[in-house]
Amino acid sequence: MSEQQPPKSPTSRRAFLKAGLTAGGAAAFAPSALAGALGGGDPANQPPNIPEWTRSLGDGVAVRAYGKPSKHEAHVIRRDVEWLTASRESSVSFTPIHELDGIITPNGLGFERHHSGIAEVDPADYRLILHGLVDKPLIFTLDDLKRLPRVNRAHFCECAANSGMEWRGAQLNGCQYTHGMVHCVMYTGVTLKTLLGEAGVKPNAKWLLLEGGDSAAMTRSLPLQKALDDVLIAYRMNGEMLYPEHGYPARAVIPGWEANMWVKWLRRIEVGDQPWHHREETSKYTDLLENGKARRFTFVMDAKSIITSPSPQAPVNHKSGLTVLSGIAWSGRGKIARVDVSLDGGRNWRTARIDGPVWDKALTRFYYEFDWDGRELLLQSRAMDETGYVQPGKAELRKIRGVNSIYHNNGIQTWYLHKNGEIENVEIS
């Protein structure tokens, strides 16, 4: 489903924002604020009627051998942007991160990015070839991969182009579109180190080529050092086999590195002594700087965060009072150490509450509960990782990288909370 319109220029809003917003009216969360905020009262005075669904039998088991969400959640879907690419076979559909919580992305909602559509692989005919600078070239069937020791690891997967439209200013009105090219699932698979150990790597080996089984034959060069560190050849996500759009029956998982390298429908691994300089690491997935030169091999995804609720697609539905701000943070360099939030466009920061597992190179969930006084706010979040890296502001980032880039925009995002509860994607200087 496509709903997003082409971006409008955000410049007209800026002057107003600078002038119109005070330092923010948020107070610390106090449980006592809830009493007034809730609509409840003495149930003796307001007895809920016995609802319709308590008056009759519901569907029995086996009606839904594979379950699905309630019909009332039909709006929680991946969405694409028709004008973004030439065809749907080489396009993106975005994770509805504004409608999710916690850190696990359900398998049916993780963003898709294909270069020639979804390869429909028959698992019986699946083969993974491992050759090049190895002692013994090998071909693995899917059953072969399943006979090797398995590991289970949850990692975020983020497209290098996530937030790419925002380089030149506030563009897309919803975090599904600005930050929805990320998901996080628990993978089961075999380490690439195990496969390489079976084949035996020659002493002069330094790089690997990963090739997909799609008709783009997606190819990326991967340093051997990373391959031996934490790369997986995964065949399961959240317990079940990979979905077709995520590379069924096997894909590469390159923790913390740009998703383009996580080759899907993985068909071939070649071991060599230098990178291959294929299309996706020269013409694409490089960052054109202001001086006309381009950064290359920018594999690592820098620390980043986004407030998923409230956000443009998830407005505030009350006029004031207790409000939960929720978001996700992640870093390609390790664990998230801290997340700060600001309600006044970065003038004052408060430390958010992190809840749920904090894993290496995985989504981390943060919250900030506050008593909203109904005034306008400028909401921001800022991630810090265990290496000490701090998520930069957009202005800071543009000073170094300019605005020609598509990839690797991890700048701080600003949501403008209006008095009526609506949220707008804005830029503040």
Task: Give the footprint of its own copies on residues 281-340 (CB under 8 A).
Answer: 317-318, 321-324, 326
Q: State the Cα–Cα distance between residues 54 and 79, nearest whole angstrom.
A: 35
Q: Are 417 and 377 in contact (CB under 8 A)?
A: yes
DSSP-derived secondary structure letter, 88: G
CA angle 377, 379, 380 (to 5 degrees): 150
State the nearest-atom distance from the C-beta of 381 to its own copies, in Å.
16
235, 242 in Cβ contact below 8 A? Answer: yes
Q: Is 28 in the site for its own copies (CB under 8 A)?
A: no
Q: 389: how many CB neighbours lie within 10 A of its CB?
A: 17
Q: How far is CA 19 from CA 14, 15, 16, 276, 421, in A?
A: 9, 6, 5, 52, 19
Considering CB under 8 A, how many residues would be counted as binding its own copies?
A: 130
* 79 near its own copies, judged by CB under 8 A: yes
Residue of the chain from 14, 150, 206, 375 that contacts its own copies (CB under 8 A) = 150
What is the Cα Rg of the chain in Å? 23
**Closest distance to its own copies from the beta carbon of 42 (Å):** 5
Interface stretch with its own copies, choices 12-20, 94-102, 274-282, 337-345 (CB under 8 A): 94-102
Considering the complex, state which of residue 129 and residue 390 has its C-beta at the smaller distance from its own copies: 129
Among 144, 360, 376, 386, binds its own copies (CB under 8 A): 144
Cross-strand partners of 377: 417
Residue number, 35 or 395, with CB nearest to its own copies: 35
Stretch that binds its own copies, among 239-247, 340-348, 396-404, 416-424 (CB under 8 A): 239-247
Give the interface segment with its own copies, choosing from 14-22, 38-46, 337-345, 381-389 (CB under 8 A). Answer: 38-46
Q: Which of residues 169-208 bind its own copies (CB under 8 A)?
A: 186-188, 194, 197-198
CA distances 275 to 32, 70, 228, 281, Å, are 61, 48, 16, 9
Q: Record the tokens describing residue 84, joined without a space.
A: 């973004």
Residue 138 near its own copies by CB under 8 A: yes
3 near its own copies (CB under 8 A) = no
| Site membership for its own copies, residue 253 (CB under 8 A) | no
DSSP 8-state class, residue 171: -
Pick the closer one to its own copies by CB: 138 or 228: 138
CA-to-CA distance for 382 and 307, rounded, in angstroms? Answer: 10
Interface pick for its own copies out of 4, 107, 221, 260 (rule CB under 8 A): 107
Taking the complex as a whole, the smallest distance from the CB of residue 403 to its own copies amounts, in Å, to: 27
Q: Which is nearer to its own copies, 162 or 326 (CB)?
A: 326
CB of 394 to its own copies, least distance (A): 27
What is the footprint of its own copies within residues 370-429 (CB under 8 A)? Answer: none
What residues between 337 and 366 interact with its own copies by CB under 8 A? 353, 355-357, 365
**Structure token digits, residue 28:** 């610390």
Q: Single out the residue of 15, 28, 57, 400 in contact with its own copies (rule: CB under 8 A).
A: 57
Q: How far, in Å, CA of 251 to CA of 247, rounded?
A: 5
Rule CB under 8 A: say whether 112 interacts with its own copies. Answer: yes
Distance CA 167, CA 395 (A): 10
Single out the residue of 12, 15, 59, 274 in contact with its own copies (rule: CB under 8 A): 59
259-264-270-272 Cα dihedral, nearest 10 degrees: -10
Q: Which of 15, 19, 28, 65 binds its own copies (CB under 8 A)?
A: 65
CB 130 within 8 A of CB 369: no
Q: Which three-class secondary structure state does DSSP give residue 211?
A: strand
